[in-house]
Amino acid sequence: MVSKSIDSCQTNANSRKPPGPTPWPIVGNTPLLPDTKPWIYFEALSKSLNSPVITFWIGRNPTVWINDCWTATEILEKKASVYSSRPRMVVFTELTGMYQSNLVTMFYGDRWRVHRKLTHSGVGLQQVRKYRDFQNDESKVIAYELLRTPDKYVAHFERYATSVVSIIGFGRRVASIDDPIITEVIAVMQKAADLNVPGKTFPMLFETFPYLARLPPDLFPALFQGLGKRRRGQEFFHALAEEAHQRDPEAPCYANQIYAEQPKYDLRPLEISSLAGNLFGAGADTSSSTLVTFVLACVAFPETLTRAWEELDRVVGHHRSPAWEDEPSLVYVKAFVKEVFRWRSVAIIGGQPHAPVSDDTWNGYVIPKGTWTQGNVWAIHHNDRDFPEPDRFDPERYLNGERARQFSNDRGYMTFGWGRRVCSGQGLAEQGTFITVARLLWGFNIHNAIDKNGKEIPVDINHYTNGLNWRPEPFACRFTPRSEDIRQAIEREGRQALEDLSVYDFESERIAQYLKKSKQDV
């Protein structure tokens, strides 16, 4: 598919847009899109054109893809005020009823500033340190549950990530992997992610032919039933926020902050739903997927674990798990976390697209106002100039010394986006991933599953889902406590964490009723 498109490429110098394939009438370059993982295609196209910025036409609309960290910084960071808006998104915004009601998709302006301010009051960098105690406790519960049911590690990660966000947002933890809120949240978030991947089939074909969106929904019953799930998710998040507020209007949770500001900013129910739901978008599906990728890396590259164990044994020992105070001394573990974010970034195309608020130029080319502008995180993190052997999981590339690499920002990765549209949950995700990865590295040897013949079952580091927030396809593995002292410490700390977290335990009759009705409506 790439070679086919390369044959039809031209520099487009006359049009003054960045280079790309010659667009066909009406359909543009849409037929050239691969069936899955278009970010790999755009990476190859960028290399073939010898340009970090390329133009690809979706129907009659040019889209710009940035495939290099230095160029992403130059365009999306240094010109953050220019690339602060969103393009028109027919599928994700208009067909799901989210037009100008959600921070994620809003055009840049006064209403966006209101939503950004409210979001920062919940998960901004100055706020997330307040959540360390219960985030740490929920992390301890992961390790505790892995002792009992290690085969359900994905479910434990999803429960953890959903529970942390639920405590922040609604003052209610998610205590069980069978809690229906997990299924609902993950399903809504993954559906939203699917509606952001460029494609040549429905529903993404609406981006190529936006006039089709004006046709009666009855002509596309299966399609609009799927989009309806996304709209029902908005109702679900509003129900969560409203229930939390009615249960205890004085409780220190994000839902009450929203309702306190509702009169001042004249927040509509759909806006309350979006503000509440964005917490899950910022920290539930993405955080759990990052932890699954961490496990895959441990299984596929076991040689990286030895140095982590040596550091953890020296700094922490076997009689307690890592604490926040250990972070400055856990140099290799912090590098390990950076490599998790870099190696298989969850938001593989950098989240939602940016759009310039006015015409802009790059390297003599024009990027018109409103152009869909996307950072290709896959290409950025797999540039072998910045990351030699990019598919190898190697934490040492982030350590000082001759193996260290330079990058265009201080973090060494671009997992959370850029500029004024950077992910609001970045701080929460980074601190939660650190403490959980440190604890699981300290507590377990994570290795290949064994088949019935006693042989190790290999894993495939490229077997990932296709959504915007991708994660490894299911794979089996083993979690073995590294020592008896560690096992006892995990059990002791896990029981204490459950006791400390019990203040957030309560049943939600309203949500149970909502989910029951939702199933009946399907």
- Give binding residues as ranges: 423
- Contact residues for 467 (Cβ-Cβ < 8 A; gap 6+): 190, 193, 194, 196, 197
Name residue 447's beta-bridge partners: 478
Local structure of 356: helix, strand or coil: coil
C-alpha 434/C-alpha 415 separation (Å) is 15
CA 422, chain centre distance (Å): 12
| Secondary structure string (H, E, C) spanning 56-116 | EEECCEEEEEECCHHHHHHHHHCCCCCCCECCCCHHHHHCCCCCCCCCCCCCCCHHHHHHH
Q: Are 448 and 456 in contact (CB under 8 A)?
A: yes
Q: Quick one: DSSP state of residue 386?
A: T
C-alpha 287/C-alpha 299 separation (Å) is 19
Q: Are 443 and 313 in contact (CB under 8 A)?
A: no
One-letter identity of residue 137: D
Q: Are 396 and 405 in contact (CB under 8 A)?
A: no
Going by the annotation, the residues of the binding site for heme are 423
CA 177, chain centre distance (Å): 21
Q: Are 39 and 31 in contact (CB under 8 A)?
A: no
Q: Are 50 and 6 in contact (CB under 8 A)?
A: no
Name residue 62's beta-bridge partners: 57
Q: Quick one: DSSP state of residue 317?
A: -
Cα distances from 51 to residues 18, 43, 71, 72, in angstroms, run 8, 10, 10, 13
C-alpha 279/C-alpha 402 separation (Å) is 40
Q: Are 367 and 310 in contact (CB under 8 A)?
A: no
One-letter identity of residue 142: I
Q: Are 146 and 124 in contact (CB under 8 A)?
A: no
Q: Is the dihedral of CA 307, 309, 311, 313 positive or negative?
A: negative
Q: What six digits make up the tokens of 445?
A: 């040897």
Strands 61-66 and 372-375: parallel
Q: Are 82 and 198 in contact (CB under 8 A)?
A: no
